[in-house]
Amino acid sequence: MPLLLPPGCKLVMIGDSITDCERARPIGEGLFNALGRGYVSLVDGLLQATEPRRRIRIVNMGTSGNTVRDLEARWQTDVLALEPDWLSIMIGINDVWRQFDSPWQVEQHVLLDEYAQTLERLVAQTRPRLQGLVLMTPYVLEPNRADAMRSQMDAYGDALRVIARAHEAVLVDTQAALDAVMAEIHPTGLAWDRIHPTTVGHMALARAFLNAIGYDWAA
Protein backbone atom coordinates (compact mmCIF):
# COMPACT_ATOMS: atom_id res chain seq x y z
CA MET A 1 0.00 0.00 0.00
CA PRO A 2 1.44 3.40 -0.92
CA LEU A 3 1.70 6.15 1.66
CA LEU A 4 -1.77 7.64 2.03
CA LEU A 5 -0.61 11.16 2.93
CA PRO A 6 -0.19 13.10 -0.34
CA PRO A 7 2.57 15.63 -0.95
CA GLY A 8 1.99 19.00 0.66
CA CYS A 9 -0.81 17.82 2.94
CA LYS A 10 -1.48 19.17 6.42
CA LEU A 11 -2.12 16.56 9.11
CA VAL A 12 -3.63 17.72 12.40
CA MET A 13 -3.35 15.23 15.27
CA ILE A 14 -5.70 15.83 18.20
CA GLY A 15 -6.20 14.00 21.46
CA ASP A 16 -5.31 13.94 25.15
CA SER A 17 -1.99 13.82 27.05
CA ILE A 18 -0.68 10.91 24.98
CA THR A 19 -0.85 13.18 21.95
CA ASP A 20 0.03 16.39 23.81
CA CYS A 21 3.36 15.38 25.38
CA GLU A 22 4.37 18.99 26.15
CA ARG A 23 3.66 20.34 22.66
CA ALA A 24 3.89 24.08 21.98
CA ARG A 25 0.97 26.44 22.72
CA PRO A 26 -1.30 27.61 21.25
CA ILE A 27 -0.42 25.67 18.09
CA GLY A 28 1.81 22.60 18.30
CA GLU A 29 3.96 23.24 15.27
CA GLY A 30 7.48 24.52 14.61
CA LEU A 31 10.95 24.12 16.09
CA PHE A 32 12.30 23.13 19.50
CA ASN A 33 10.01 20.23 20.42
CA ALA A 34 6.89 22.12 19.30
CA LEU A 35 5.34 18.77 18.35
CA GLY A 36 5.94 17.40 21.85
CA ARG A 37 7.99 14.39 22.91
CA GLY A 38 5.65 11.55 22.01
CA TYR A 39 4.35 9.56 19.08
CA VAL A 40 3.43 12.68 17.08
CA SER A 41 7.05 13.83 17.01
CA LEU A 42 8.21 10.32 16.12
CA VAL A 43 5.77 10.16 13.20
CA ASP A 44 6.91 13.57 12.02
CA GLY A 45 10.59 12.72 12.41
CA LEU A 46 10.35 9.54 10.36
CA LEU A 47 8.30 11.17 7.62
CA GLN A 48 10.59 14.19 7.36
CA ALA A 49 13.74 12.04 7.39
CA THR A 50 12.59 9.54 4.78
CA GLU A 51 9.98 11.42 2.74
CA PRO A 52 11.25 15.03 2.76
CA ARG A 53 10.05 15.75 -0.77
CA ARG A 54 6.48 15.22 0.32
CA ARG A 55 6.65 18.24 2.64
CA ILE A 56 4.00 16.81 4.94
CA ARG A 57 2.99 19.36 7.59
CA ILE A 58 2.05 17.96 11.00
CA VAL A 59 0.33 19.95 13.75
CA ASN A 60 -0.10 18.61 17.30
CA MET A 61 -3.30 19.75 19.01
CA GLY A 62 -3.37 17.29 21.91
CA THR A 63 -4.41 18.61 25.34
CA SER A 64 -3.68 16.71 28.54
CA GLY A 65 -6.68 15.46 30.49
CA ASN A 66 -9.10 15.78 27.60
CA THR A 67 -12.14 13.61 27.04
CA VAL A 68 -14.24 13.59 23.88
CA ARG A 69 -16.42 16.15 25.66
CA ASP A 70 -13.43 18.52 25.83
CA LEU A 71 -12.60 17.89 22.19
CA GLU A 72 -16.07 18.99 21.16
CA ALA A 73 -15.71 22.20 23.16
CA ARG A 74 -12.54 23.19 21.26
CA TRP A 75 -13.30 21.59 17.89
CA GLN A 76 -13.90 24.85 16.01
CA THR A 77 -10.62 26.50 17.01
CA ASP A 78 -8.39 23.44 17.22
CA VAL A 79 -9.59 21.48 14.20
CA LEU A 80 -11.93 23.25 11.81
CA ALA A 81 -10.15 26.62 11.91
CA LEU A 82 -6.83 24.92 11.10
CA GLU A 83 -8.30 23.48 7.88
CA PRO A 84 -6.45 20.14 7.88
CA ASP A 85 -6.28 17.92 4.82
CA TRP A 86 -5.93 14.88 7.08
CA LEU A 87 -7.02 14.54 10.69
CA SER A 88 -5.99 12.01 13.33
CA ILE A 89 -8.07 11.58 16.49
CA MET A 90 -6.97 9.63 19.54
CA ILE A 91 -9.42 10.03 22.41
CA GLY A 92 -11.16 7.89 25.01
CA ILE A 93 -8.55 7.09 27.63
CA ASN A 94 -9.68 9.76 30.11
CA ASP A 95 -13.32 9.05 29.31
CA VAL A 96 -12.73 5.58 30.78
CA TRP A 97 -9.99 6.34 33.32
CA ARG A 98 -11.98 8.93 35.29
CA GLN A 99 -14.57 6.24 35.99
CA PHE A 100 -11.87 4.29 37.87
CA ASP A 101 -9.50 6.82 39.43
CA SER A 102 -12.26 9.31 40.31
CA PRO A 103 -15.28 7.04 40.85
CA TRP A 104 -17.27 9.48 43.00
CA GLN A 105 -16.80 12.48 40.68
CA VAL A 106 -19.44 11.31 38.27
CA GLU A 107 -19.60 14.67 36.51
CA GLN A 108 -16.18 13.84 35.00
CA HIS A 109 -17.32 10.49 33.62
CA VAL A 110 -18.02 10.20 29.91
CA LEU A 111 -20.03 7.01 29.59
CA LEU A 112 -19.98 4.85 26.50
CA ASP A 113 -23.13 6.20 24.86
CA GLU A 114 -21.99 9.81 25.23
CA TYR A 115 -18.53 8.92 23.98
CA ALA A 116 -19.84 7.19 20.87
CA GLN A 117 -22.47 9.82 20.10
CA THR A 118 -20.08 12.74 20.55
CA LEU A 119 -17.32 11.18 18.48
CA GLU A 120 -19.82 10.27 15.77
CA ARG A 121 -21.10 13.85 15.74
CA LEU A 122 -17.60 15.33 15.40
CA VAL A 123 -16.57 12.89 12.70
CA ALA A 124 -19.79 13.33 10.70
CA GLN A 125 -19.38 17.10 10.84
CA THR A 126 -15.75 17.06 9.77
CA ARG A 127 -15.26 14.11 7.42
CA PRO A 128 -16.63 15.87 4.29
CA ARG A 129 -13.96 18.58 4.70
CA LEU A 130 -11.09 16.10 4.85
CA GLN A 131 -9.05 14.16 2.33
CA GLY A 132 -8.52 11.49 4.97
CA LEU A 133 -9.25 10.61 8.59
CA VAL A 134 -7.38 8.41 11.07
CA LEU A 135 -9.07 7.11 14.22
CA MET A 136 -6.84 5.65 16.94
CA THR A 137 -8.33 3.41 19.62
CA PRO A 138 -7.90 4.23 23.31
CA TYR A 139 -5.80 1.76 25.30
CA VAL A 140 -4.66 0.71 28.75
CA LEU A 141 -1.46 -1.18 29.48
CA GLU A 142 -3.19 -4.12 31.13
CA PRO A 143 -2.81 -7.56 29.53
CA ASN A 144 -5.69 -9.13 31.50
CA ARG A 145 -8.74 -8.55 29.30
CA ALA A 146 -11.03 -9.45 32.19
CA ASP A 147 -9.71 -6.50 34.22
CA ALA A 148 -12.55 -3.99 34.65
CA MET A 149 -10.71 -1.01 33.15
CA ARG A 150 -9.28 -3.06 30.28
CA SER A 151 -12.71 -4.47 29.49
CA GLN A 152 -14.22 -0.99 29.49
CA MET A 153 -11.43 0.41 27.32
CA ASP A 154 -11.98 -2.39 24.81
CA ALA A 155 -15.67 -1.48 24.63
CA TYR A 156 -14.80 2.14 23.82
CA GLY A 157 -12.38 0.89 21.19
CA ASP A 158 -15.17 -1.19 19.66
CA ALA A 159 -17.39 1.90 19.48
CA LEU A 160 -14.62 3.77 17.70
CA ARG A 161 -14.26 0.92 15.20
CA VAL A 162 -17.93 1.24 14.26
CA ILE A 163 -17.45 4.95 13.57
CA ALA A 164 -14.29 4.29 11.57
CA ARG A 165 -16.11 1.82 9.32
CA ALA A 166 -19.08 4.13 8.85
CA HIS A 167 -16.92 7.05 7.74
CA GLU A 168 -14.19 5.22 5.81
CA ALA A 169 -11.52 6.21 8.30
CA VAL A 170 -8.13 4.56 8.70
CA LEU A 171 -8.17 2.59 11.95
CA VAL A 172 -5.12 2.36 14.20
CA ASP A 173 -5.51 -0.37 16.84
CA THR A 174 -3.19 1.02 19.48
CA GLN A 175 -4.30 -1.58 22.03
CA ALA A 176 -3.22 -4.43 19.74
CA ALA A 177 0.11 -2.71 19.08
CA LEU A 178 0.82 -2.34 22.79
CA ASP A 179 -0.45 -5.83 23.58
CA ALA A 180 2.25 -7.18 21.26
CA VAL A 181 4.95 -5.30 23.18
CA MET A 182 3.48 -6.36 26.54
CA ALA A 183 4.01 -9.97 25.52
CA GLU A 184 7.71 -9.34 26.20
CA ILE A 185 7.82 -6.24 28.42
CA HIS A 186 5.88 -5.89 31.68
CA PRO A 187 3.36 -3.01 31.65
CA THR A 188 5.35 -1.15 34.31
CA GLY A 189 8.25 -1.08 31.86
CA LEU A 190 6.06 0.71 29.34
CA ALA A 191 4.09 3.09 31.59
CA TRP A 192 4.32 3.61 35.34
CA ASP A 193 0.58 4.35 35.51
CA ARG A 194 -0.50 1.95 32.71
CA ILE A 195 -1.37 4.98 30.54
CA HIS A 196 1.49 7.42 29.87
CA PRO A 197 4.06 5.48 27.85
CA THR A 198 7.81 5.50 27.79
CA THR A 199 9.65 6.20 24.55
CA VAL A 200 9.25 2.51 23.73
CA GLY A 201 5.48 2.79 24.12
CA HIS A 202 5.35 5.95 22.03
CA MET A 203 7.40 4.24 19.33
CA ALA A 204 4.88 1.39 19.30
CA LEU A 205 2.11 3.95 18.80
CA ALA A 206 4.03 5.73 16.05
CA ARG A 207 4.78 2.44 14.32
CA ALA A 208 1.12 1.42 14.43
CA PHE A 209 0.08 4.79 13.00
CA LEU A 210 2.65 4.65 10.20
CA ASN A 211 1.78 1.06 9.32
CA ALA A 212 -1.89 2.03 9.04
CA ILE A 213 -1.16 4.86 6.58
CA GLY A 214 1.11 2.76 4.39
CA TYR A 215 4.55 3.95 5.48
CA ASP A 216 7.41 2.17 3.70
CA TRP A 217 9.93 1.14 6.34
CA ALA A 218 12.49 0.44 3.63
CA ALA A 219 12.39 4.06 2.49
Could you report the per-residue pLDDT of 166-202, keeping only the tens digit for each?
999 999 999 999 999 999 999 999 999 999 999 999 9
pLDDT tens digits for range 85-128: 999 999 999 999 999 999 999 999 999 999 999 999 999 999 99
What's residue 23's pLDDT?
A: 98
CA distances (Å), 25 to each of 33, 60, 62, 137, in order? 11, 10, 10, 25
What's residue 139's pLDDT?
A: 98
pLDDT tens digits for range 35-92: 999 999 999 999 999 999 999 999 999 999 999 999 999 999 999 999 999 999 999 9
Give me the percent of the chain exceeding a pLDDT of 90. Answer: 98
10 phi and psi angles, rounded to 5 deg: -110, 120
Choose among 93, 88, 105, 84: nearest CA to 43. Answer: 88
- Whether the Cβ atoms of residue 7 and residue 54 lie closer than 8 Å to each other: yes
Which DSSP state fits 191? -
The mean per-residue pLDDT over the stretch 12-39 comes to: 97
Query: What CATH class does 10-212 carry?
Result: alpha beta
For residues 115 and 161, what is the distance between their CA atoms, to the nearest angstrom? 13
* Predicted TM-score (pTM) of this structure: 0.96
Q: Residues with Cβ < 8 Å from 148, sequence gap 6 or more?
A: 100
Choose among 167, 170, 183: nearest CA to 137. Answer: 170
Q: Which residues are catalytic?
A: 17, 193, 196
214 phi and psi angles, rounded to 5 deg: 85, 30
- Position 219 pLDDT exceeds 80: no
What's residue 218's pLDDT?
A: 85
Which DSSP state fits 138? -
**Tell me, what amino acid is at 152?**
Q
Q: Domain ranges in the chain?
A: 10-212
CA distances (Å), 86 to each of 45, 116, 177, 180, in order? 17, 21, 22, 27
Mean pLDDT of the chain: 97
What's residue 72's pLDDT?
A: 98
The mean per-residue pLDDT over the stretch 128-148 comes to: 97
- Centroid of chain to Cα 81: 20
188 phi and psi angles, rounded to 5 deg: -70, -20
What's residue 124's pLDDT?
A: 98
Length of the chain in residues, anyone? 219
